[in-house]
Amino acid sequence: LLHVLIQEARAFAYRFFIIDNSGSMAARDGSYLDGRRMRGCSRWHELGEAARFHSAFADAAGVPCAFHLLNAPALGRQYHEIGGRGLGLTLTLTLTLSLSLSLTLTLTPKGVAGGAGALPRSP
């Protein structure tokens, strides 16, 4: 698995994730791996686990990674960019951005998926 991750880091110079933080993400039909056990959770928690993994991987691999929430959160930012040596980010700034993303992921999802103005529309 590590070999595949390293190959993918080289193949994709930039990763962009769209995070659905609409109200439907509160549904409790998700799951995540806790140690060696699968546990039930909300879709939001499941997505948060994946986003935290990709954030940490981007930082460790030096691969730029962006996370854009569909809806503006009540606290925190709607857009987070993490990792990437080419961006000139310092360790402190990368850590701050990772913590900012983690804080945003602790908020309760709300809003409408694909709500008006959530993402720019192409002409």
pLDDT digits (tens, 9 = 90+) for 36-46: 999 999 898 88
pLDDT digits (tens, 9 = 90+) for 17-32: 998 888 888 899 999 8
- Rounded Cα distance between 46 and 102, Å, is 13
pTM of model > 0.85: no
- Rounded Cα distance between 1 and 7, Å, is 10
Type and span of the H or E element at 49: helix 43-61
